[in-house]
């Protein structure tokens, strides 16, 4: 629905044409709880005739029943759609609303004020051009005001409307307005917010929303709507170097191969030189194709398909950039990370990183520091909990083309996805590369894994024993190694207890330390497999994500997961080290099976039912499986490479 216009009745085509040509502004409202964010948006919808008659009737009924204005229209109810929001009188989720005026179209996001909904606020702010930060004139600048201003600055919004609301409750006192503005500017300067437009208003009564209020004759600035209609936001993107992430390779026939995507920055013309990243190949724009026909020039915000004069390899997720101003390429970054999941972030755990249309595997180091968003203080941290923000280093498994987030949000902003649940768990903003990938190369070697393993008359691989403490992993692994040794195979055993005496002696038993424990062992296992060995790894390794990390480090068929399936009661009855008894008494924390979870393998290559098999039988079963998989064979001549 759009605002009321005479053209709707007289010339609908002209109206639709004019409406289509309007620019779009996305903005958010944020601030402390009860500052009037939802009321302000409701007022904007109401005044711009964006409320249907049935909605107005429902608003009047709801205002009498659950409103907070003593039966008068409660405009916040137009936005707060969740029943919990209406019952509590607070905003929980992000609510998006559309409205328009003669000059512009708008999408506004009403974001929560509560700290526990920081992730919701970040989500709403991620696509906004302007932030409207509300302050209750009676309360002034509060901790939540500072927190939301910091988040606005963090996400890259530079244009701020300081809406000093509820001026009617302080008698429209100019001194109150001036004092709040000075307090806010002092804080804003510390976080880089300088483009501030302050407006005294009353969202409930409509003062300085659409028209200047006679109650504030001392104010000669714009109304809120006038400012939103006139603020400029797109110039910086259009002036930036050309960037377009390839979302689709369009190949309708043998004679056409185009690359479709949204231009996130800059402009491109037919004949311009571009660089395909991360490959680094240069090419020239042959055509700029749209549904309505070819263009000579396209700019930021347009979705187009381009063709190239040269036959170069371009895939989904690649970035087309201006040849003389390309994006950077790296596989290690410093970034600000906002954690958005109930389960804590665990350093070393692999996550999927999505940047534009590109998906890669990423691991996060221990946070460099956590940010107290209320005070801007830097705090030490080993993990991140829900809604926490930190500066971290992260590593991806292949080079990525990127820009710093402050230069281009589309090529510098990413999300993290849990590889098991596919839930979005974090959002990040890239600062800079920790190293340039093009300066570090794999050294070519004439003797490789195949030759090393063939010399040993075997095929290299990892036997990964997993199960509860006391399940019999080490016992069975020891028997398997003895049998392999007896037949002349070359092996090495990595046992959980033994490794903690050396390589991992600095790690404890928190979830974060368990993840790092397995990450290190997986990397060591990969090196040993490259040496041509059969590696026997005996670790509880309670988390599926880390077992998958280890599997992904190996080539196809090299990783054999062996689930030593022993019921907790049986493992506990063995308890040779007395660990279960200590855990039951609370003397050991984070003990797997008691107060720390063990995630059962979903599809192990080998499952050993220790209730039905002896250790000797289990070892023989594994040897038979290795023969079946071709990992063991009789000595023969080494291939002449």
Contact 387, 119 (CB under 8 A): yes
Q: pLDDT band at 589, cuts 50/70/90?
A: confident
Give rounded-to-5 percent helix, strand, coil for the chain: 30, 30, 40
| pLDDT tops 80 at residue 378 | yes
Phi, psi (deg, nearest 5) at residue 179 = -65, -45
Q: Is residue 553 part of a domain?
A: yes
Evaluate whether residue 635 is within a structural domain: no
| Of 176-190, 263-277, 576-590, 614-628, minimum mean pLDDT range | 576-590
Percent of the chain having pLDDT more than 90?
A: 44
Does residue 406 surpass a pLDDT of 50? yes
Is the preceding omega at residue 235 within 30 degrees of 0, hence cis? no
pLDDT of residue 611: 84
State pLDDT tens for residues 165-174.
999 999 999 9
Q: Look at residue 636 in the predicted model and tell me its pLDDT.
A: 45
Q: What percent of the chain has pLDDT over 70?
A: 85
Q: What secondary structure letter does DSSP report for 460?
A: -
Between the two ends of the chain, the Cα-to-Cα distance in Å is 72
pLDDT tens digits along 453-484: 888 889 999 999 999 988 889 999 999 999 99
**How buried is 50 (Cβ within 10 angstroms: 0-12 exposed, 13-18 middle, 19+ buried)?**
buried
Of residues 272, 288, 279, the one with CA closest to residue 324: 272
Cα separation values, 15 from 9, 22, 105, 551, Å: 9, 11, 13, 60
Domain end among 278, 297, 322: 322
Of 20-34, 438-452, 505-519, which range is least confident? 438-452
* Confidence band, pLDDT 50/70/90 cuts, at residue 430: very high
Name the most confidently modeled range: 297-301, 436-440, 583-587, 619-623. 619-623
302-341, pLDDT tens digit by residue? 999 999 999 899 999 999 999 999 999 999 999 999 898 8
DSSP 617: H
Task: Provide long-range contacts, Cβ within 8 A and 24+ apart, for 594-600.
Answer: 596/509, 596/511, 596/514, 596/542, 597/542, 598/468, 598/540, 598/542, 599/542, 599/543, 599/544, 600/563
Specify whether 229 is located in the same domain as 242. Answer: no
Q: Of these residues, 541, 573, 596, 614, which one is catalytic? A: 541
- Considering only residues 122 and 210, tell me which one the structure prediction assigns the higher pLDDT: 210
* CB-CB contact of 403 with 243 (8 Å): yes
**Residue at a domain's end among 322, 357, 378:** 322
Residue whose C-alpha is closest to residue 148's, from 127, 117, 194, 185: 117
Tokens linked to 99: 């409205």
Whether residue 442 lies inside any domain: the answer is no
CB-CB contact of 432 with 400 (8 Å): no
CATH number of the domain to which 184 belongs: 3.40.50.300
Structure tokens at 596: 């720390």
On whether both 136 and 218 belong to a single domain, the answer is yes
Q: Which residue has the tokens 């195949």?
A: 450
Give residue 232's pLDDT band: very low, low, confident or very high (50, 70, 90).
Answer: confident
Q: Which domain holds residue 278?
A: 237-322
User: What pLDDT sits at residue 66?
Assistant: 56
Query: Given a cut of 90, is residue 397 above it in pLDDT?
Result: no
Range scoring the smallest mean pLDDT among 27-36, 275-284, 502-511: 27-36
- Assess whether 340 and 489 both reside in one domain: no
Whether 475 and 602 map to the same domain: the answer is: yes
E strands, 20-170, where?
Answer: 23-31, 95-100, 104-110, 130-136, 159-165
Place of tokens 């759009």: 2
Residue at 639 is within a domain? no
CATH number at residue 291: 2.40.30.10
Q: Does 425 share its domain with 459? A: no
Does residue 637 sit within a domain? Answer: no
Same domain, 388 and 266: no
Q: Tell me whether residue 1 is in a domain.
A: no
8 Å CB contact between 278 and 401: yes
Average per-residue pLDDT in the chain?
84
Q: How does 126-138 read in b/e, with b if 16+ C-beta sit within 10 Å? A: bebbbbbbbbbbe
Domain boundary residue among 322, 343, 377?
322
Q: How confident is the model at residue 593 (pLDDT cuts 50, 70, 90)?
A: confident
Asked whether residue 641 is assigned to any structural domain, the reply reads: no
Q: Which of 38-52, 134-148, 486-500 has the lowest mean pLDDT?
A: 38-52
541 is catalytic: yes
The total number of structural domains that make up the chain:
4
Strands 256-265 and 559-565, bridge-based pairing = unpaired
- 3-state secondary structure at position 444: coil
Instruction: Give the angle subtended at the CA of 399 by the CAs of 396 and 404, to the nearest 5°.
Output: 85
Position 263 scores a pLDDT of 92
> Are both 598 and 525 inside the same structural domain?
yes
Same domain, 210 and 251: no
pLDDT band at 40 (very low <50, low <70, confident <90, very high): confident
């Amino acid at each position: 629905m759009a605002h009321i216009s005479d053209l709707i009745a007289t010339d609908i085509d002209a109206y639709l044409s004019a409406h289509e040509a309007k620019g779009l502004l996305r903005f958010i409202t944020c601030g402390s709880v009860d500052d009037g964010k939802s009321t302000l948006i409701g007022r904007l919808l109401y005044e711009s005739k964006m409320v249907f008659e049935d909605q107005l009737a429902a608003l009047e009924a709801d205002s009498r029943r659950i409103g907070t204005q003593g039966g008068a229209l409660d405009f916040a109810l137009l936005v707060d759609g969740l029943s919990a929001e209406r019952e509590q009188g607070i905003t929980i989720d992000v609510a998006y609303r559309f409205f328009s005026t003669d000059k512009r179209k708008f999408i506004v996001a009403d974001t929560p004020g509560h700290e526990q909904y920081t992730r919701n606020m970040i989500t709403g702010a991620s696509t906004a051009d302007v932030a409207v930060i509300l302050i209750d004139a009676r309360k002034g600048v509060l901790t939540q005001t500072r927190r939301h201003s910091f988040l606005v600055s963090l996400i890259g919004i530079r244009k701020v409307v300081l809406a000093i609301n509820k001026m009617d409750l302080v008698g429209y006192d100019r001194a109150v307005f001036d004092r709040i503005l000075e307090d806010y500017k002092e804080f804003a300067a510390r976080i880089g917010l300088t483009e501030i437009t302050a407006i005294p208003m009353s969202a409930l009564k409509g003062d300085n929303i659409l028209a200047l209020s006679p109650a504030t004759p001392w104010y000669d600035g714009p109304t809120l709507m006038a400012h939103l209609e006139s603020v400029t936001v797109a110039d910086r993107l259009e002036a930036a170097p050309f960037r377009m992430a390839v979302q689709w390779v369009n190949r309708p026939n043998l004679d056409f191969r185009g690359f479709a995507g949204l231009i996130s920055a800059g402009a491109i013309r037919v004949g311009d030189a571009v660089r395909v990243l991360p490959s680094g190949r240069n090419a020239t724009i042959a055509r700029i194709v749209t549904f309505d026909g070819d263009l000579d020039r396209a700019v930021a915000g347009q979705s187009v398909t381009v063709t190239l004069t040269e036959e170069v390899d371009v895939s989904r997720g690649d970035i087309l950039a201006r040849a003389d101003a390309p994006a950077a390429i790296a596989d290690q970054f410093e970034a600000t990370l906002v954690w958005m999941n109930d389960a804590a972030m665990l350093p070393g755990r692999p996550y999927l990183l999505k940047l534009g249309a590109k998906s890669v595997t990423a691991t996060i180091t221990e946070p460099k520091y956590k940010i107290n968003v209320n005070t801007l203080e830097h705090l030490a941290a080993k993990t991140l909990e829900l809604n926490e923000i930190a500066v971290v280093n992260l590593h991806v498994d292949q080079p990525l083309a990127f820009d710093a987030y402050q230069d281009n949000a589309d090529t510098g902003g990413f999300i993290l996805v849990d590889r098991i649940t596919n839930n979005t768990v974090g959002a990040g903003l890239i600062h800079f590369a920790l190293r340039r990938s093009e300066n570090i190369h794999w050294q070519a070697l004439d003797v490789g894994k195949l030759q090393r393993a063939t010399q040993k008359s075997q095929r290299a691989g990892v036997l990964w024993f997993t199960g509860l403490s006391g399940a019999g992993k080490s016992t069975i692994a020891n028997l398997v190694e003895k049998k392999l040794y007896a037949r002349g195979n070359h092996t090495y055993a990595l046992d959980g207890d033994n490794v903690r005496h050396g390589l991992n002696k600095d790690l404890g038993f928190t979830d974060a330390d368990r993840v790092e424990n397995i990450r290190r062992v997986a990397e060591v296992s990969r090196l040993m497999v490259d040496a041509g060995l059969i590696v026997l790894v005996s670790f509880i390794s309670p988390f599926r994500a880390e077992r998958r990390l280890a599997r992904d480090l190996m080539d196809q068929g090299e990783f054999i997961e062996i689930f030593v399936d022993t019921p907790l009661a049986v493992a506990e009855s063995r308890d040779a080290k007395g660990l279960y008894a200590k855990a039951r008494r609370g003397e050991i924390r984070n003990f797997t099976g008691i107060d720390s979870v063990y995630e059962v393998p979903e599809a192990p290559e080998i499952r050993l039912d220790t209730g039905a098999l002896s250790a000797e039988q289990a070892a023989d079963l594994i040897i038979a499986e290795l023969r079946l998989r071709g990992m063991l064979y009789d000595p023969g001549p080494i291939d002449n490479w």
